[in-house]
Structure 1
Amino acid sequence: MDLRGKKALVTGGGTGIGRAVSLLLAERGASVAVNYSRSAQEAEETVRLIQSRGGQAFAIRADVSREPEVKAMAETVAQRWGTIDLLVNNASVTRHIAMDDLESISDEAWDELFGINVKGMFYCARAAAPYMKKQGRGAIVNVGSIAGITGTGSSLPYAVSKAAVHGLTRSLAKALAPHIRVNAVAPGAVLTRWWEGRERQMEQLAGSLLLGETASPEDIAHMICAALEQEALTGQIITVDAGQSM
C-alpha cells in the first residue's frame, strides 16, 4: 500500500512511538490525525512539527477507553478527510509493579490497563472499520509488547494486557479479512517517557542486548509503517526488540 494521500489516525500520537510514527506517516505523504487524551500540548507540538515540514495533521482528543468518545473521534476524522485508511493503535498505559508483588495489583490497575490497552484498541478498530470496508481496503497496526510474549515487564497486568493485544490482533485479522489487514508490532524496551527516572536500568538492559542498544521510537515507527504498507501481511506479531526476547 502506498501511504501517499492516505488518511491516518494515530492514537497516543503526541509522544514517544506515537509521535515518531505520526511524523513518519506524514513524511511518506499521509495526512495524520494525532489523538491524545491528556497530552494536549505534546499532540499540538507533533502537529506543528508535521505542518512545518509541509504535511497535513490535526490533533483530536479522545479517551480511547470510552467508546462514545472513540466513535465521535472517528466521525470527526472521516468528516474532515472523507475516510480513514490507516489506524495505528498506539495509546497504552502501564503501572510499575514488581512482578512477584501480587498483593499490590489492584482492581483499578487491571481495569485501567485493560480499558485502555485492550478495549481501547478494539473500540478504535471497530470505529474505523466501516470507513475502511466502504472503500474496500484499509490497514491497522496495534502496538503490542514483548511483555505479552515473555510474560515479564513493568507489571503483571501490563504483560497480560499486551498478550491480549496480540490475541486481539489475530482475531481482528480474521474478522476483518479480506479487505482490512491487522498486524501488531511488539517493541522491547524503548527509551520513552515511561523510563523517566529509570535511565540507569535502561542502560544496564542495553548492555545485555544482542545488538548492544535498545530500539528507538523511530525504529518502531519504521516497522509500523512497513506493516501498514505490506499488502501480503496480516495477523502477525512482529517483534522489534534488539534481541531482548532471545
Structure 2
Amino acid sequence: MDLHGKIALVTGGGTGIGRATSLALAKRGAVVAVNYSRSREDAEETVRLIANDGGRAIAIQADVSQDEQVRRMAEAVAGHFGAIHLLVNNASTTRHIPLDDLEAATDDVWDELFDVNVKGMFHCARAVAPFMKESRQGAIVNIGSIAGQTGLGSSLPYAVSKSAVHGLTLSLARALAPHIRVNAVLPGAVATRWWAGREEQMNRLVPRLLLKQIATPDDIAQLICAALEQEAMTGQLITVDSGQTM
C-alpha cells in the first residue's frame, strides 16, 4: 500500500515509538491523527514537528481504555479527513513489579494493564474498522512485545497482556479479512522513556544482544511502516529485538 495521502491514526503518538511512527508516516506522505490520553503537550509537539516538515497532522485526545471515547475519536478523525486507512495501536502502559512478587500483581494492576494494552487495542480496531471497510482497504499494526513471548518483562501482568495482544492480532486478522490487514510488531528493548531511571540496567543488556545495540524508536517505526505497506501480509507477529530472543 502506498501510504501517501492515507489517513493514519497513531495511538499514544506523542512520545517514544508513537512519535517516531507519526513522523515516519508523515514523511511517507500520510496524514496523521496523533492520539494522546494525558500527554497533550507531547502530542502537540509531534504535530508541530510534522507541520514544520511540510506534513499534515492533528492531535486528538481519547483514553483508549474507554470505548465511547475511542468511538468519538474515530468519528472525529474520519469526519475531519474523510476516511481512516491506517491504525497503529501503540498506546500501552505498564507497572514495574518484580516478576516473583505475585502479591504486588493486584487486581487493580491487572485491570489497568488489560484495559489499556488489550481492550484498548480492540476498542480502536473496532472503531476504525467500518471506515476501513468503506474504503475497501485498511491496515492495522498492533505493538506487542517480546515480553509476550518470553514471559519476562517489566511485570508479570504486562508480559501476559502483551501475549494477549499477539492473540488479538491473529483473531482480528481473521475477523477483518479480506479488506483489512492486521499484523503486530514485537519490539525488544527500545531506548524510550520507559527506561528512565533504569539506564544502567538497559546498558547491562547490550552485551547480551547479538547486534550489541538497543533499538531506537526510529528502528521500530520503520518496521511499522513496512508492515502497513506490505499488502500480501496479515496475521503476522514480527520481532525486532537486536537478536535478544535468539
Given the two structures, how large is their TM-score scaled by the length of structure 2?
A: 1.00
User: In 1, Cα distance between the equivalents of 2:73 and 2:186?
Assistant: 25
Residue 76 of structure 2 aligns to a residue whose secondary structure is helix
Q: Please give the alpha-carbon distance, in whole angstroms, between the structure 2 residues aligned to 1:148 and 1:86.
A: 24
Would you say 1:145 and 2:145 are equivalent positions?
yes
For 1:113, the aligned partner's letter is: L
Matches within 5 A, 1:31-180: 31-180=31-180
SS of 2:244's equivalent in the other structure is coil
Deviations 1:130-179 (A, max 9, x none): 00001111000000000001111000000000000000000000000000
* Structure 2: stretches of 5+ with no match in the other structure: none
- 1:156 maps to a residue whose letter is L
- What is the CA–CA distance in structure 2 between the aligned matches of 1:173 and 1:104, rounded to whole Å? 34
Shift of 1:117: 0.2
What does residue 232 of structure 1 align with? 232
Inter-partner Cα distance in structure 2 for 1:75 and 1:179: 20
Distance 1:118 1:100 in 2: 23
Q: Partner residue of 1:9?
A: 9
Structure 1 residue 208: Cα displacement: 1.1
In 2, Cα distance between equivalents of 1:4 and 1:61: 24
Letter in structure 1 aligned against 2:96: H
**Which secondary structure state, in structure 1, belongs to the residue aligned with residue 159 of structure 2?**
helix
Identity %: 72
Q: State the Cα deviation string for residues 31-88 of structure 1 (Å, max 9, x = none).
A: 0000000100000000000000000000000000000000000000000000100000
Q: Structure 1: how far apart are the matches of 2:3 and 2:104?
A: 44
**Does 2:191 match 1:203?**
no
How many angstroms does 1:110 deviate by?
A: 0.3
Aligned-partner residue type, residue 149 of structure 1: Q
**Per-residue CA shift, 1:204-242, capped at 9, x if unaligned?**
011210000111000000000000000011000000000
The superposition leaves residues 4-28 of structure 1 with CA deviations (integer Å, 9 ceiling, x where unpaired) of 0000000000000000000000000
Q: CA RMSD in A?
A: 0.4
Give the partner amino acid of 1:25: L
Counterpart of 1:182 in 2: which secondary structure? strand
When the two structures are aligned, how many residues end up with a matched partner? 246
Paired residue secondary structure (1:181): strand
Matched, 1:242 2:237: no
**CA–CA separation in structure 1 for the residues paired with 2:206 and 2:158:** 21
Partner Cα distance (1:192, 1:47) in 2? 19
SS in 2 for 1:197: coil
Q: Output the CA distance in 2 between the equivalents of 1:109 and 1:213.
A: 31
Letter in 1 for 2:111: D
> 1:220 corresponds to which residue?
220
2:245 and 2:217 map into 1 onto residues whose CA distance is 18
Letter in 2 for 1:18: G
* Inter-partner Cα distance in structure 2 for 1:206 and 1:130: 43
Q: Which runs of 5+ in 1 are unaligned?
A: none
- The residue type paired with residue 201 of structure 1 is Q
